[in-house]
Every structure is written in C-alpha cells, then in structure tokens.
Amino acid sequence: MNGAMIGLVVWLAGFDLQAGIELQYAGTLSQQTKSGETEVKAFTLSLLTLVDEHGKTQIAYYLDERGGGNWGWPEQFGLLPAMDPAATKLRPIRLLHTHEEQHYSLPVRSPIFEFRDKLALSASWTDGQREYVVTRKRNFKNREGLQVEVSSNLGRRQTMIIEPATGILLSLDEKVVIGRGDEFQLKMELQSQKQLTDSEVAKNRRAFDSLLEIQQGLGRTGEQKTVELTIDQLKSIQKEMPRIQQEAEGTSWSRFVAAIGRDLQQQRKRLDGVAGMQKKMIGQDAPKWSLKLVDGTTFSSNDAKDKVVVLHFWQYRGEPLSEPYGQIGYLDFLNSKRKKLGVRVVGVNVDERFAGTENKGAATRSMKKLLEFMNVGYEMAVDDESTLTEFGDPRVLGAQLPLWIVIGHDGKVVHYHTGFYDIKPDEGLKQLDEAVVEAIRRQKAK
C-alpha cells in the first residue's frame, strides 16, 4: 500500500484525518442565464491537514481565484479546525465575486465533511438550518462515494459526493443566489490527493506558521479587498521574506509565497510613488480649484483664503458600499468638533460620470443614497476627476482613494495622505486632526 492510500485509512480519535494529507481542488462560479451557464470565475483551492498539540486536525488552506474580483493576499489563506463547522464561521474559506459593481463574499464548504459519522444510505438529519439526505452511491474518478443532498427552506442548495471512508469532499455542486435574485452555480472537484512524509509535514508547518504570523501582525479585519501596506509593514515583511521563501521552497506554499513577493515589489513602487507625490505637495501652494457643491453653489481656492480646509476625495457611492465606508463617519465627527473653530470640511465625490450628462443622474442618486445612509453633516462637492488630477490622483500609482488634504489659511498644503488611516476607535482620525489643529494654531499666530 503506497503513502497516498495509507493517508486514506489512518485516522485519529474523533474521525480526524492524520496530518499531511494534501488536497487540490479546482472550481468554477457560473451565472445562470436564459442561454445557459456563463463562467464568471475560476479558482483553485489547496489544502493540507495538520495536527495541533491536542491531536486535533486542522486545515491549512490557500485559495487562488481568477476573474470577477478577488481578496487581498492576507485574506486568501488561513487555518481552520477540520471538524468544527461553527468555528469556521470566524473566517471561512471564501470567494470574493464582483457582480453589478457590488462585492459578494461567498463561503466555500469545508473539504472535510463534518457529519462523516452519519453517512449511510438513506440517512437523513438536520443541523438546525439545513436538512441532509444521503440519496445514493456515486462513483467519482474510481473512488466510492455517497451523494448527499443539502436543502433549506429555500430549496435544494448543495449536491455533494463524499467519500464515506474518509469524509473527504470529492465534488460539490451548489446553487448560489447573488444580488437581486440572480442565480449562480458553484462547482468544485477534487483534482489530486497526496500523503506527505513526516519531514515534509514539518517543513510545510514551519512555512505556514510564518505566513500566519505575518497575517496576524497586519491586524486586518479579514474583509479587505485590497492590500495597501504601510511603509513599516512593508519593511517588516520584506525583512522576513528571505527566510520564508527558503522555508516554503518545495512545499505547498511556494507558489503563494512567490505571489506575495511580487505584490511586495508593487507595494514598494506604490509607496515610493505616493511618498514622492506627498513630498512634492506639502509646503507648496495648493493648485487653483473650483468645486461644485451639491447645493448648487461653488467652493473655490479663492473662497478658501484665510480658512483651514479639509478635502476628502473619495467615491461617494451607495453601491458598491463596504466598510470602512471611506472612514467618513470619523471625518463627520472631526467636522462637528472643528467647524466651530472655522475649519471647513468638504467631501469630494470623485466620479467620471459627472463629466457628461448621460449618467450624471445615476451618479447623483448613488451619492445621495450614501449621504442619507451615513447621515453626513459636512459639505459635499462633485468632481469628474479633473480636480483630483490637479492634486495628484493616487490611483495612477496603484494606490487607492480616499485622498485627504489639509490646506492652511495661507493656501499651502500642510497635510497629504492617501488611503485609509490606521486608527483606534477611541482616537478617530488622530493623524488628520493633529494636522488640522496645527493649521489652526498657525492661523491664529499669523
């Protein structure tokens, strides 16, 4: 019996698989249309079973998706308990799909079936939310399996083929509803299985533990769609990369580590470019500008004389809308605190649709939907990207909006920041507020 077959039959207590079983899946997400199915996303899922110090099996995973949006690399991997479906809700294996400009997080079922002990022909049970029925025997690529139908009060949701001897998912066909009732089909099949040696497991574990350490050190929420590292984060990870690359060589994580390395190169280019733009702007006269406010009036650089002004360039849209909402809630708090000192905060909605007439109405409606949802109290202006270009559009450097600018009473740029601030909830936009307070101090001392 070869190593791969041994991996199929050796089990620990509680039906946990032994360490070192490497599984590779391939999957697709397709939209159901009147003319049939249209594939909108393809993905591969790599998994490795590991055992913790208590003898419980864990699943280390890496998800690589193509088409229709994807997570930032810190969200593409993780470590899950194999037999505790409730625990996987903390950060499950997920796809990220963009549909009609809205982002949707789509959980992917664990490849180790949590109800292996219930698998028998004609067996049925419920977990409180879903009903499970074992309908018949199914053969999948010369492996014996059982077909399990999963349904809820919304109808049949999943059809799975599970190998009863191991609980390994062999194939999945799942109905997914996205947006305004649009139907999609998520399919996934096991492509390969391999049993690693003890030394290979130990090497994979070291590499993965190092990746987890990086992930935890970034302190991300798990919901970010983009990766914008700070200069300190970049330097810290780059310092560790030679060691991690050596650890990952010849393991399941080598391709993922290589992808991280390529992203770090892009991060360096972005940070260098943004730093150059920041250096160019701070201390210099702000460009001449004129913004149209939503109340129909204008606000220009001439109106800003002898005033401290905060400009917040962002895409104020009701859809797609995701946290942290441009951090406008914190900006609104800053505005309510500093406007009595004469500070003028203006949100600038950057949307190219304002340049024409055909889609201007849709852009305005989307903005108003957001303003009502967030109950924004500061002034709003619209920009067809021309004013942003004058101040420097960070997106051309691979960075993201928002762009935060503080202009002093003398018309000079005193603060220039791209992307989200790293904040603590009880401190709010501390870095921005400190720049505003310093600008007020200089105004009073003139």
Q: Which of 324, 309, 376, 323 is nearest to 349 (CA)?
A: 376
Q: How much is the pLDDT for 225?
A: 80
Distance CA 111, CA 171 (A): 9
- Section 366-370 average pLDDT: 89
DSSP H or E segment with residue 329: helix 328-338
Average pLDDT over the chain, rounded to an integer: 89
Q: How much is the pLDDT for 58?
A: 87
Least confident of 1-15, 42-56, 345-359, 403-417: 1-15
Q: How much is the pLDDT for 15?
A: 46
Q: How much is the pLDDT for 321?
A: 67
Considering only the C-alpha atoms of the chain, give the largest distance between any 2 of them, rounded to a whole number of Å. Answer: 86
Residue 103 has pLDDT above 50, yes or no: yes
Residue 129 has pLDDT above 70, yes or no: yes
Q: Which CATH architecture has domain 282-444?
A: 3-Layer(aba) Sandwich (3.40)
Select the more confidently predicted residue: 240 or 34.
240
Q: How much is the pLDDT for 91?
A: 64
Residue 259 has pLDDT above 80, yes or no: yes
- Section 323-341 average pLDDT: 89
Q: How much is the pLDDT for 128?
A: 87
**Tens digits of residue pLDDT in 34-56:** 788 899 999 999 999 998 877 78
- Section 138-146 average pLDDT: 95
**Tens digits of residue pLDDT in 155-179:** 668 999 999 999 999 999 999 999 8
**Tens digits of residue pLDDT in 67-80:** 888 899 999 999 88
Query: Angle 391-396-400 (CA atoms, 0-180°, nearest 5)?
Result: 80
Q: Residues 433, 334: contact at Cβ < 8 Å? A: yes
Q: How much is the pLDDT for 374?
A: 87
Residue 438 has pLDDT above 70, yes or no: yes
What percent of the chain has pLDDT above 90?
A: 68
Tokens of 355: 């340049």
- Section 87-112 average pLDDT: 82
Select the more confidently predicted residue: 55 or 398.
398
Distance CA 322, CA 224 (A): 9
Residue 7 has pLDDT above 60, yes or no: no
Q: How much is the pLDDT for 82?
A: 65
Sign of CA dihedral 88, 91, 93, 95: positive
**Tens digits of residue pLDDT in 104-124:** 999 999 899 989 999 999 999
Phi first, then psi, for residue 51 (nearest 5°) are: -120, 130
Residue 87 has pLDDT above 90, yes or no: no
Whole-prediction pTM: 0.79
Q: How confident is the model at residue 339 (pLDDT cuts 50, 70, 90)?
A: very high
Residues facing 45 on adjacent strands:
25, 63
Residue 5 has pLDDT above 70, yes or no: no
The helix/strand/coil state of 122 is coil
Q: How much is the pLDDT for 35?
A: 80
- Section 237-249 average pLDDT: 97
Residue 442 has pLDDT above 60, yes or no: yes
Distance CA 330, CA 413 (A): 21
Q: Which CATH architecture has domain 3-196?
A: Clam (2.50)
Least confident of 77-81, 199-203, 267-271, 311-315: 77-81
Domain boundaries, the chain: 3-196, 197-281, 282-444
Least confident of 104-113, 317-326, 391-400, 402-411: 317-326
- Section 358-370 average pLDDT: 88
**Tens digits of residue pLDDT in 17-26:** 788 999 999 9
Q: How much is the pLDDT for 155?
A: 60
Residue 386 has pLDDT above 80, yes or no: yes
Distance CA 25, CA 381 (A): 48
Residues facing 195 on adjacent strands:
21
**Tens digits of residue pLDDT in 195-206:** 999 999 999 999
**Tens digits of residue pLDDT in 406-416:** 999 999 999 99
DSSP per-residue letters across 294-310? TTS-EEETTTTTTS-EE
- Section 247-258 average pLDDT: 95
Distance CA 444, CA 446 (A): 6
Residue 12 has pLDDT above 50, yes or no: no
Residue 277 has pLDDT above 50, yes or no: yes
